[in-house]
Amino acid sequence: MILNAGNILLIGSILLFISIVVGKAGFRFGVPALLLFLGVGMLFGTDGLGIEFNNPQTAQFIGVIALSIILFSGGMDTSAAEIKPVLGQGIVLATAGVMFTAFLTGYFIYYITNLENSFVTLNFTESLLLASVMSSTDSASVFSILRSKRQGLKENLRPMLELESGSNDPMAYMLTILLIGIIQSGESSLSNTILQFIMQMSIGAVSGYLLGRLAVYCINKLNINQSLYPVLLLAFVFFIFSFTDLVKGNGYLAVYLAGLVVGNHKVVHKKSLTTFFDGITWLFQIVMFLTLGLLVNPAELFPVAVLSILIGVFMIILARPISVFLCLLPFRKMTTKARAYVSWVGLRGAVPIIFATYPLIANIQHASLIFNVVFFITILSLVVQGTTVSFMAKLLGLSTPEERKNVFNVELPEEIKTAMSEIEVIPSMLAKGDKLMDLVLPDNTLVALIKKNDSYCVPKGKTKLHTGDKLLVITDDDEALMKTYESLGITDYSIQKNA
């Protein structure tokens, strides 16, 4: 089937619907939703139900838009206080880690493709290009899998992994563009490469920070219709990426840092902005993976299966762990188990596939081979690593209880200078009586709502409490409230606090 203006909306809506249903079903069985989105795209593609899509330029354009939104949203959801203790580890992994992975994998690819029985021969530059395309971990995969599974991790590993995956794309992008240029021109300049890298990273960092602050200022100062604030911020995302790219900076780094700035500053209607970006991030993740699934021809994956498996296993078992352990040598406080887990969660996803479209567009020799190998390895990574994120955390003793789910789904406006907490009634809370008036709470503290089974009620002093009831507590003194929780033996609670 050839897509045209008459049927693209119908087919697109069907694909979105099927992806959501399949993703929901896959989540129940522990299968990464992103892998299933790829599968849906492949099912409906040329070798499946017949949708013809063979336009790497369009796929790359969709990928750039999607990654801009995904990285910005990931930055918004990242707490600066959480990443501060792991800033050094994250930066080293995002730069040196990517380079080590690329060179180790590149040497391996060069070696196995120059054996006598190899069906394809790649020179060292081509081998290094293939390795560089897939040298970074994928932000969409890491953000999606860790957050959808609500996986709690010890040793501050989750913010480290998210920081690495959100900021390591620039290095892989630089290596990819550099090697394509070398293959096309046959020349390379180490000093020029280093200068270009420094410019891209520094301009991207400065642009992301300054434009992020500008976004915060405009959102807080412009008095517009509340529904337009998400649209305004979305416009800023696209402007930040494109402007940074225009001035020769790295747009991927810029949008991630801008998201960090916006997410860690007070902005009006922050809840609606966060909700909007959560939804649109999922939309573009689905669209991106569907597009990439449609772009590949599954029949072309079988001839590269053996080569892809060899490279994929080498990256998972050797290249990624060696790179991680080398990069984390200076950080002596990290345990060996933590380093092993970081090595395992080196997920590949949409980013390597998008980067693999650059050789296609540049008409590099063996570009189709590079694309198909990268696609195969992405599937392998999502199947092997993506499905075992929680299992490996438990195996290494790094798993913590799942993040507490927000039962009442209520958030305080930024203007209210107070704290809100959710707790579950335990027997020790009822020691002095089973009525709300008997509950020991600090001054200036109020139980605003109670959930009993599946029903909610506004409490009174004589309201009876039972073990398992959920309480929504509002207080002006969160420190006193936490001390009260400690004295009562309450450990499972959440607190939302406005500065």
Per-residue model confidence (pLDDT) at position 85:
87
What are 471's strand-pairing partners?
Answer: 423, 450
Give CA torsion, residues 84, 88, 94, 96, to 10 deg. 180
Give the bridge partners for 152, in sequence order.
Answer: 400
CA 429/CA 431 separation, integer angstroms:
6
d(CA 86, CA 93): 11
- Is it true that 5-401 and 419-497 share their CATH fold? no
DSSP class of residue 186 equals: S
pLDDT at 55: 82
- For every residue of 392-446, DSSP letters joined together read HHHHTT-EEPPPPP-SS-----TT--SEEEEEE--GGGGTT-SBGGGS---TTEE
Q: Are 150 and 402 in contact (CB under 8 A)?
A: yes
The length of the chain, given as a count of residues: 499
C-beta of residue 393 within 8 angstroms of C-beta of residue 344: no
Burial 238-273 (b: 16+ CB within 10 A, else e): bebbeebbeeebbbbbbbbbbbbbbbbbebbbbeeb
In whole angstroms, how far apart are CA 391 and each of 30, 386, 403, 405?
10, 10, 16, 21
| H-helix segments, 222-347 | 229-246, 251-263, 270-295, 305-314, 320-327, 336-344
Model-wide pTM > 0.85 = no
Tell me the β-bridge partners of 423: 471, 493
* Sequence ranges of the domains in the chain: 5-401, 419-497
Tokens encoding 68: 């801009």
CATH superfamily ID and name for 419-497: Regulator of K+ conductance, C-terminal domain (3.30.70.1450)
Half-sphere exposure of 470 (CA within 13 A, CB side): 18
Reduce the DSSP state of residue 218 to 3 states and report it: helix
Q: At 479, is the secondary structure helix, strand, or coil?
A: helix
- Cross-strand partners of 422: 472, 494
C-alpha to C-alpha distances, 90 to 94, 133, 320, 331, 416, nearest whole angstrom: 6, 20, 15, 11, 34
For the chain, the straight-line distance linking the first and the last C-alpha, in angstroms and rounded, comes to 56
Give the pLDDT of residue 28: 62
CB 308 within 8 Å of CB 373? yes
Is 166:98 a contact under the CB 8 Å cutoff?
Answer: no
Q: Please say whether the beta carbons of 99 and 171 come within 8 A.
A: yes
Structure tokens given for 394: 């438990």
What tokens appear for 251 in the block?
């747009």
pLDDT, position 209: 95
Q: What gap in Å lies between CA 328 and CA 247, rounded to an integer?
A: 33
Handedness of CA 12, 348, 21, 76 (dihedral sign): negative
pLDDT (tens digit, 0 to 9) for every residue of the chain, 499 residues total? 555 666 777 877 888 888 888 777 666 655 667 777 888 888 887 767 777 777 888 888 988 899 899 889 888 888 788 888 888 998 999 989 999 999 999 999 999 999 877 778 889 999 999 999 999 887 666 766 666 655 568 888 888 888 888 788 888 888 898 888 888 876 666 677 778 778 888 999 999 999 999 999 999 998 888 889 999 999 999 999 999 999 988 888 899 999 999 998 888 888 889 889 988 988 888 888 888 888 888 888 889 999 999 999 999 999 999 999 999 999 988 899 999 999 998 888 778 888 999 998 988 888 999 999 999 999 898 888 888 888 888 888 887 765 555 667 676 666 666 788 888 888 888 888 888 888 888 888 888 888 888 788 888 888 888 888 888 888 888 788 888 888 878 877 777 766 5
Of 3.90.420.10, 2.40.30.10, 3.30.200.20, 1.20.1530.20, which CATH number belongs to 5-401?
Answer: 1.20.1530.20
| Cβ atoms of residues 74 and 262 within 8 Å | no
Which residues contact residue 21 at a Cβ distance below 8 angstroms, ignoring those fewer than 6 apart? none
3-state SS assignment for residue 495: strand
Angle at the Cα of 197 (from 196 to 202), degrees rounded to 5? 100
CA 137 to chain centre: 10
